[in-house]
């Protein structure tokens, strides 16, 4: 099944306690599409500047990602610079240069307009709705958002959520959007806005899936080496929706599997800066870690 993602392709400069990297490949659509590419074909709509290194697009193509929808605008590529302390759950943004991304008006190529699944990465909710107006109704629409849009464009975001099946956000954003401190109550409030399924990412504490009246909790995979958390959330979304593209059922069992695959891809993402870990990652590696997740969470019933 075809999967369309609309979001950012960027150049990141990141510093963590374990090293730093300058002007490396980043962006929500980039991490998402590479993670999802292990499961299905992915089409990307994004914009880059005239300074964007062509080898980065070559890497996406090598993963089977269709980049025909990535436009080159006049000016420089979107850049983000951030730093993490030993508390790796949240980055401190040091600088954001929107550049060509400030003028981003997604244009979905005709060849992309009948996708089975759409992921609306973290962009203006009015642009997210505009994307949906350009495609024939997909089987599944998922989206991400952030505190900036929740605070500044909440009515527009709520209009967008009416057209969304799955919302993937972090715990702070869920509380802010719902106005509820408790994540169970927050999820119910958010589902009342439109999404049938809400996934709340909790960084090193894992992820929660709320769908119908059911809840599923997945831990984060315990890793000995974590170098760079940048892109982990988008990699999670890519693994999650990649699995749904391959197995397009929204029943509880399949959604739970999708959460684990999302967690698997996120766990690989943080093992190196940028998308470097994905350059050597194989499908067999993913299968092995999926099984490790199963062993990690398995326990016997209580006797008697």
Domains and CATH numbers, the chain: 3-297 (3.40.1190.20)
- Determine the Cα–Cα distance for residues 177 and 186; give it in Å rounded to an integer: 8
pLDDT for the residue numbered 298: 83
Helices (DSSP H) in 106-225: which residue ranges? 125-134, 147-152, 154-161, 171-178, 183-191
Distances (CA, A) of 186 to 115, 116, 122, 210, 247: 30, 29, 20, 10, 28
Which pLDDT tens digits describe the chain residue by residue (304 residues)?
899 999 999 999 999 999 999 999 999 999 999 999 999 999 999 999 999 999 999 999 999 999 999 999 999 999 999 999 887 777 889 999 999 999 999 999 999 999 999 999 999 999 999 999 999 989 999 999 999 999 999 999 999 999 999 999 999 999 999 999 999 999 999 999 999 999 999 988 999 999 987 899 999 999 988 899 999 999 999 999 999 999 988 999 999 999 999 999 999 999 999 999 999 999 999 999 999 999 998 888 877 6
- Determine the Cα–Cα distance for residues 180 and 175; give it in Å rounded to an integer: 5
Give me the residues paired with residue 208 across strands: 200, 217
pTM: 0.96
Distances (CA, A) of 197 to 8, 234, 276: 24, 17, 31
- Determine the Cα–Cα distance for residues 50 and 47; give it in Å rounded to an integer: 10
**Six-digit token string for 68:** 């025909």
- Determine the Cα–Cα distance for residues 247 and 157; give it in Å rounded to an integer: 29
Contact 216, 256 (CB under 8 A): yes
Contact 223, 260 (CB under 8 A): no
pLDDT for the residue numbered 299: 81
pLDDT for the residue numbered 87: 78
pLDDT for the residue numbered 304: 62
């Amino acid at each position: 099944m075809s999967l369309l993602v609309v979001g950012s392709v960027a150049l990141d400069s990141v510093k963590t306690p374990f090293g730093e990297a300058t002007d490396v490949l980043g962006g929500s659509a980039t991490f998402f599409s590479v993670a999802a590419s292990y499961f299905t074909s992915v089409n990307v709509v994004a914009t880059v500047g005239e300074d964007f290194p062509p080898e980065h697009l070559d890497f996406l193509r090598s993963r089977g990602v269709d980049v025909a929808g990535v436009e080159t605008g006049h000016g420089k590529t979107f850049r983000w610079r951030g730093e993490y302390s030993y508390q790796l759950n949240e980055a401190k943004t040091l600088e954001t240069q929107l550049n060509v991304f400030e003028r981003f008006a997604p244009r979905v190529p005709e060849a992309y307009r009948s996708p089975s699944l759409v992921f609306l990465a973290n962009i203006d909710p009015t642009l997210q709705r505009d994307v949906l107006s350009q495609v024939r109704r997909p089987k599944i629409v998922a989206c991400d958002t952030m505190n900036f849009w929740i605070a500044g464009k909440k009515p527009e975001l709520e209009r967008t959520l009416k057209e969304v099946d799955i919302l993937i956000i972090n715990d702070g954003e869920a509380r802010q959007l719902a106005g509820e401190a408790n994540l169970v109550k927050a999820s119910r409030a958010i589902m009342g806005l439109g999404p049938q399924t809400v996934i709340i990412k909790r960084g090193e504490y894992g992820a929660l899936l709320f769908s119908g009246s059911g809840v599923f909790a997945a831990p984060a995979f315990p890793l000995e080496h974590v170098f760079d958390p940048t892109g982990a959330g988008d990699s999670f979304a890519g693994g999650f929706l990649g699995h749904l593209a391959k197995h397009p059922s929204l029943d509880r069992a399949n959604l739970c599997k999708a959460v684990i695959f999302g967690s698997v891809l996120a766990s690989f993402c943080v093992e190196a800066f940028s998308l470097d870990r994905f350059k050597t990652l194989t499908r067999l590696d993913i299968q092995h870690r999926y099984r490790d997740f199963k062993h990690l969470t398995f326990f016997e019933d209580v006797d008697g």
